[in-house]
Amino acid sequence: MQIRMLVLTDGQLVADANIMNRNRPEQVLLTGWLSMATTLAHFS
């Protein structure tokens, strides 16, 4: 699975995760938070 580094704003989700987990919003939110944390760690 390709992971895209995106700087997320409040309420913004990773498009790929949204498509993959269309029926699991809680998983989408988790993926979004993990992506944001990874991005912040990458640039820190």
Q: Where exactly are the structural domains of the chain? A: 10-43
Q: What is the pLDDT of residue 26?
A: 72
The Cβ of residue 38 has, within 10 Å, a number of other Cβ atoms equal to 13
Helix, strand, or coil here: 12?
Answer: coil
Please return the burial class of 17, using the count of CB atoms within 10 Å of its CB with bins 0-12, 13-18 and 19+.
buried
Q: What is the pLDDT of residue 1?
A: 45
Averages of pLDDT over runs of 10 residues in the chain (44 residues) are 52 56 67 83 77
